[in-house]
Copies of this chain bind each other. A is one copy, B any other.
């Protein structure tokens, strides 16, 4: 029987140190299954960064690109050249390969700091997102939970249907 990888969950409060580092909870980090600390950092949405297992991110990315290609082949993107350009640009700044140090600390790279919208010395939330780890601006996290939690039951029912 195929082993399902553990669902990554958990909510932790962390401090961004003066060097823009975040020490990840080992409970979450070990579930990413990254040997050598190599992973992918993604701009998920304003106020939220995603940290992925490199292989898994690659797979997801290829699936996305494959979809775009198939649509292209079907001629559905002819009037959307501009959007394709935009997609290309976004892909360029969207992710960065990062390495965790021996204490499971993540150094948030330059462009990602403003995107997260936090100052050195302030708090962030570290949250398990099923298949990835996410770093949240606390205010964005609060707003997100408020908005999405009401639909939790529905989502669970939907997925277990």
Q: Which residues of A does B touch, CB under 8 Å?
A: 2, 4, 7-11, 13, 60-69, 77-78, 81, 83-96, 110-111, 127-132, 134, 144-145, 148-149, 152, 155-156, 158-160
Contacts and interface: CB of A to CB of B under 8 A. Distances in A.
B63 A10 contact: no
A70 to B, nearest CB: 9
Nearest to A141: B93
A92 B9 contact: yes
A160 B68 CA distance: 8
8 contacts: A9-B88, A10-B96, A13-B111, A60-B160, A63-B78, A64-B78, A68-B159, A84-B130
Given A63-B160, A67-B78, A130 B87 contact: yes
A4 B66 CA distance: 7
Secondary structure class of chain A's binding surface, majority of residues? helix
Nearest to A127: B92
Nearest to A65: B4
Contact of A78 (B60, B95, B129): B60
Contacts of A2: 69
Contacts of A152: 90, 94
Nearest to A84: B130
